[in-house]
Structure 1
């Protein structure tokens, strides 16, 4: 199969953003596959899940080597997200919802990204609330953190399996609220990327079995995304919190607006 160099180029751009911000896998690639490449929404979701899994495996390795992964938080998220992904796959298969109309998928993507963009734009306020709760009731907040993190994982597992969106976009918002003092910018991105690896692999395997993965296109996207995320991860570890926050907000607002207005 001949290579359409627009595919590796798109992969490189998205890989860079994933490496720098932890956002961009489903948030950007699924809309690109549907709106620019004319791909069926269900196939776009399945292909993007594997794109995200392999791309973030490379990026996660870079972040791990730099010590920017909080493994305890990652395990808590996974306790909720992985069972949730399996149950969502079962629901999709049992009800036939995996073949839902493309317009519904696009609408769901737009809504999720709009809510996430709003949350990121209000990041300072949300962070302040988390800091206030952590400071005023440190013992209660500390005891609630594990179960709240698992619940956050459950929500992420459902959304990622259904739309391929959420592992990076919503994950970063949740972690900032749940761990207002613990999450530095680099640790936030590194932990979020590493958590997404097993989640997208589980969800992606289910979609692969349902025939929703274009392996040829996936290979071409990865030609660009792997060097892109390595470069982005190296840049991201040296990027200030202000720049990271701005990049995440701009990405989510732009993509969410495009989906809802298209």
Structure 2
């Protein structure tokens, strides 16, 4: 029964991660940490193993959802590769930060981070995207109504933000999409669907880097990963399918609500731990 539960967690993580561009770690890591106190197979779970295993799973979630979004023609490859220039090194730095962190501290910091992201999304309509300077990269997107939407960014700023995103990915095992998607929407003017699809592409690449780092440190439980991968793979495809049928605002509202609930729960668990 416990192994079936892991498969279900993988499916939920893959679906929500792909739907909102998070990567799924924001579900897997808290689930592993919470269940470690209630199930025999997960007893003794450490933040390092939870994060390392989560990042390995996100390779499959990222690949699965990216392939689905490629069919929908929503992935901005050039932007994703440029973001990876920052997120790759950032992920390695995050793995180093994760080495000696204890459980309660990890949960509190993780929860605060998630609540901060939800707050950013809450005030997003009151913030104006940065103006695209002459030397900045510009992109255009044609939505379902046939309207042409312009978005863009300064490469240096984008890489710097991606480095921070990668750092949180390696530290918390969340893929970084919970910060990258809001940044893409708020700062660069990305349409929500394009931001989610491109975020999953970047998460796929950065998860490979951070997973290798965690594997080298012995932070991956291969049995847990084996149970989580099938659900994460199919969930990645399911999330991309659902995303195609939701309006941009709906995606953002779902993301915000989920982050608030999970963030508060983690902070409480860390404080009372």
TM-score for the superposition, normalised by structure 1:
0.88
Residues 220-241 of structure 1: per-residue CA shift (max 9 Å, x gap): 1112121122111111122101
Task: Please identify which structure carries the higher helix content.
Answer: 1
The 5-angstrom pairing of residues 118-157 of structure 1 reads 118-126=119-127, 129-130=128-129, 133-134=130-131, 138-139=133-134, 145-157=154-166
**May I ask how many residue pairs the two structures share in their alignment?**
248
Map of 2:99 onto structure 1: 98
For 1:132-160, what per-residue CA distance to the aligned partner results, in whole angstroms no more than 9, with x for missing partners? x42xx643766961111000111012111
Conserved in 2, the CA contact under 8 Å of 1:149 and 1:178?
A: no
Equivalent in the alignment of 2:182 = 173
Q: Which residues in structure 2 correspond to 1:182-261 (within 5 Å)?
A: 183-261=190-268
- Extract structure 1 runs of 4+ deviating beyond 6 A: none
Q: Partner residue of 1:29?
A: 28
| C-alpha displacement of 1:85 | 2.4
Aligned to 1:67: 73
Gaps of 5+ in 1: none
Contact 1:145 1:178 in 2 (8 A): no
8 A Cα contact 2:76 2:194, kept in partner: yes
Instruction: Give the number of the structure with larger relative contact order, counting CA–CA contacts within 8 Å between residues 6 or more apart.
Output: 1
Contact map agreement 2:22 2:174 (CA 8 A) in 1: no
- The alignment status of 1:81 with 2:108, answered yes or no, reads no
User: For the Cα contact (< 8 Å) 1:62–1:230, is it kept in 2?
Assistant: yes
Structure 2 Cα separation of the partners of residues 189 and 148 of structure 1: 19
Q: Matched residue of 2:52: which SS?
A: helix
Listed as ranges, the gaps of 5+ residues in structure 2 are 38-44, 138-151
Classify 1:88/1:194 alpha carbon distance in 2 versus 1 (closer, same or farther; 3 Å).
same
Q: How many Å apart are 1:166 and its aligned residue?
A: 5.3
1:3 CA drift (Å): 6.8
**TM-score, normalised on structure 2?**
0.84
What RMSD in Å do the two structures reach over aligned CA positions? 2.0
- Structure 2 residue 61 is the aligned partner of structure 1 residue 55: yes
Distance in 1 (alpha carbons) for counterparts of 2:187 and 2:31: 31
Contact 1:108–1:163 under 8 Å retained in 2: no
Structure 1 residues 199 and 24, CA gap change in structure 2 (3 angstroms): closer
Kindly indicate whether the alpha-carbon contact (under 8 Å) linking 1:56 and 1:196 is maintained by their aligned counterparts in 2.
yes
Decide which structure has greater strand share.
Answer: 2
